[in-house]
A and B are shown apart, each in its own frame.
Chain A
Amino acid sequence: MDDLASNLALETEVQTDKAVLQACAVDGVEPRMVVTPASVQEAAHVVAEVRRNGLQLLPRGGGTRLHLGGVPQHIDIVLNTTRLSRLLEHEAPDLTCRVEAGITLAELQRQLAQKGQQLALDPPDEEQTTIGGLLASNASGPRRLRYGTARDLAIGLRTIQPNGEISQSGGRVVKNVAGYDLNKLYIGSFGTLGVIVEANFKLHPLPPAERTLLLAYSEVKEAMQTVSALLRSPLGPTAIELLDRGAMNRLLRRAGFQLPAQGYALAVHYEGNIRVINRQIHDTYLLARQYNALIGDELEEKEQLAFWKSIRQLLSEKFTCAVSLPIADVARYFQLIEAVSQRHNLETATIAHAGNGILFIEIEGIAEPMSDNDQQRLAEAVEALRLSARELRGHLIVERCPTSFKHRVDVWGATNKDFALMQRLKQQLDPDGTFVKGRFLGGL
């Protein structure tokens, strides 16, 4: 360890204070050293040294998504990327940019906004989330309905390989099929294959206007019928969120937004030209009425901004599951969540990217440390929900939970036949296990 530290560049910051190590612990596993390089070259040198010493490294950006995944086996070095924080190029006329991975999403957005542009990704915690962390954990938000996810917007990456070499994948142009599309491989790979240090993105203009329509329903089925009708229409909403009673209560408690206390709410977001938005909102009302929407409310300006911020941050307490389903099964699954909650005596709040079939279920009131009884109850509930998701051709991931629970239930769920292919990739690309194991699917 000391040997490693002495071999690093002078500018590379090395920390071993207990408090820093504790702050960087993942599921209680503390690193032995936190290293903060000042440049991409220094970062690459750190990785090379880690490998040479047979140690294990975990890249870290803003630390907002480290709760995701299984318990890490062992961490020697945390590589902190937050000093790699420059916007290197913003080719506004080409709607592209090149950026270092340690910049936060919010800071990048502020700089892009100076030329009226944005990176069309809206995950939670944008003030802390770094671009590298966002990419490595494939973070997204409500507007993925229109803009897709990181895989649709990242056009090139620079990644540190376990041997410390820096490789480029993709490029700087919006269309490119030269060689394997390794961008896709690194996005969502949780740092198991390489450390993302730079990214090139396709950008979008900031919309001239946006508006949100809130609709209330007594039946989830009718809310989802509205969603289906919207998706089949040419209206093209930017985001559609579906909230159950628990989620609405939370929104009231957290942000003071008064939604009906019973039933379900849909938030439908549009952006673009105001004339077009007027038409979209109008047609959405008409559609919603056909499916017995109870009330309608429109949000604009500050209120709207605050609303979407709260929506993005709504579920971030102790116990969250993410479920992906075919859209047509979402309504049924909401009912199933209620049944499972009742059976296991749980309070839940659920919010869905309804147009994508992605649900986030927060299980409320979990005390830590979890009692045996709680562990048991939750394990049964999660397995029941997971089984139903699988039967519907979907899957359930436990996104956030106490570490003790991770020892009981696999947060990713069982692997499929394609896991063998993933193992072969990991074996080839990180043969010595330089990048921390245990967190990703199947312990990769």
Chain B
Amino acid sequence: MSIIEKTAVTTDRRLSTAQKGSVVQELRGLLGARNVLSTPYDLTLYEYDASIERGKPDIVVLPSSTEEVAAIVRLAARYQIPVVPRGAGTGLSGGAVPIQGGIVISFARMNRILEIDIPNLRAVVQPGLVNLHLSNALLPQGFYYVPDPSSQRSCTLGGNVGENAGGPHTLLYGVTTNHVTGLEIVTAEGEVIEVGGTTCDTPGYDLTGLLIGSEGTLCIVTKIIVRIVPVPESVKTMIAVFNTMDDASNTVSEIIASGVIPAALEMMDHMILQAVEADTHAGYPMDAAAVLLIEAEGLKESVTEQVEQIVAISKKHHARLIRIAANETERQLLWAGRKNAFGAVGRISPEFYVQDGVVPRTKLPYVLRRIQEICDRYDLKVGNVFHAGDGNLHPLILFDSQKPGEVERVRQAGHEILAVCAEVGGSITGEHGVGLEKQAEMALIFSDVDLHVMQQVRAAWNPNELFNPGKLFPLPGRCADIRHLSSCDSKQTSRKG
């Protein structure tokens, strides 16, 4: 599917009522009746995630162990029904939406920390563990787990592994794939296999690296080994306030170019600031064109120096105000504002659609202007709140699906934005994943050859496409359409320009 198409549920593999009855019966035998959901009422909760896609599962199961997951997968293989893993359903690309029905495996009950191994700087967790719960458990001992998606209070580590999740603090330290050293997985045949491990450089192919971000299409993850790191000695958080977007994005470009790599470098524009302030009262100026939220961390000497450099660069680009959080409460408040930004936008618009393109950091000013242009052309309001230091954009397009034709315009604008990202050498997704949403847009950045290699990988491990079917790859025959459409777009814009 593409951004520019509506969700169309394929029904080819839907279970008949009789089949469903016997599958449910067997699953109840495996898991106990209370851990198998099959009434329309119960299933409705599992037909969506945080994206704008929908798809109803036939059955939802809540296993409590790896062995149960393996048994479910074997059963599904026998009946040839799809299996879709689900963490907290906070994904933004439809990764957990069972578009072809089948069994959704909820990891809600597999949410334990199995081991915290401080001497070896590792923790072993179950996939249903909430991201923040791990750091909360580690903090008393002076450690934490780095990747911190904005949804970290509810998203799970299994989901993070599936999507290769990022977050504001991945600029300096890397994303999920840089912090996971091993996995326990269930294969399409229902076998339990360990890949990677606690130690470095396990012989053979880097299967852990391949599986992270594979969006549930290659295996089901049942255990995760992660790196943990000591909390920094000193953290300074500041905001730099600008009267133009260009000044703010030029500041970002220069900070990166100067070689100062802060722990986080986030941008929020005027519209987002309005929403955030109304919601969180974090102390962001409501009349600014853009604010940078910057965090430096490390040894105190290093933080002092970074702050000096960042202040100097911000001033050079006409920051009208630079404010350093005076204490932890102020700091937390600034971050609460940033991390709740998506939710806060709910105050000013009934719905929004978020994109996740990435561009070279030198191209930020240009791309931000293009996004504004595109949304103006479609008569849509857009706000930007994003990981500026990584060049990872999150334009939020506001809309109201009750207005006829608005969803179509939103999808069209979203598609054009990704075409711009691709055009400047960027990517269509930095941390949210392809899922259902951006399948066709894969063709904007990958050739048929590139995609064929990926399909071979899927064929190797998930030959019958029972694991999370209908995701990630463009549907047959759509690449050409999308490329054609994009070249039309660029012609159109250049004519306008």
Contact = CB atoms under 8 A, between A and B. Distances in A.
A404 interface: no
A275 B187 CA distance: 52
Contact of A161 (B193, B449, B459): B449
Contact of B358 (A91, A175, A185): A175
Contacts of B457: 180, 182, 185, 425, 428-429
Nearest to B392: A175
Contacts, number: 252
B425 A173 contact: yes
A425 B177 contact: no
Interface stretch (A7-15, A121-129, A163-171, A375-383): A163-171
Contact of B431 (A175, A205, A279): A175
A325 B199 contact: yes
A395 B454 contact: no
B197 A397 contact: no
Contacts of B298: 234, 236, 276
Interface of B: 117-122, 142, 163-164, 166, 170, 174-175, 177-178, 187, 191, 193-195, 197-210, 212-214, 218, 230-233, 253, 256-257, 259, 298-299, 301-302, 305, 358-362, 387, 390-392, 425-434, 438, 442, 445-447, 449-454, 456-461, 472
B442 A179 contact: yes
A326 B115 CA distance: 14
Contact of A96 (B163, B360, B460): B360
A85 interface: no
B358 A327 contact: no
Interface in A395-444: 395, 397, 412-413, 415-422, 424-425, 427-429, 440-442, 444
B449 A234 contact: no
A172 interface: yes
A328 B118 CA distance: 9
A172 B360 contact: yes
A263 interface: no
Interface of A: 91-96, 116-117, 138, 148-149, 151-152, 161, 165-169, 171-185, 187-189, 193, 204-205, 228, 231-236, 272-273, 275-276, 279-280, 322, 324-328, 356-358, 393-395, 397, 412-413, 415-422, 424-425, 427-429, 440-442, 444
A174 B390 contact: yes
A442 B203 CA distance: 10
A354 to B, nearest CB: 12
Contact of B206 (A94, A185, A236): A185
B427 A173 contact: yes
B445 A181 contact: no
Contacts of A420: 193
B206 A175 contact: no
A413 B200 CA distance: 16
A175 B199 contact: no
B449 A421 contact: no
A374 B121 CA distance: 39
Among B175, B195, B457: residue with most chain A CB under 10 A: B457
A280 B299 contact: yes
A252 to B, nearest CB: 29
Nearest to A206: B259
Given A95-B256, A280-B299, A421-B187, A441 B203 contact: yes
A14 to B, nearest CB: 27
Given A179-B446, A413-B203, 8 more contacts: A95-B257, A151-B177, A169-B453, A171-B445, A177-B430, A178-B446, A184-B208, A393-B199
Contacts of A273: 301-302, 305
B427 A234 contact: no
A438 to B, nearest CB: 15
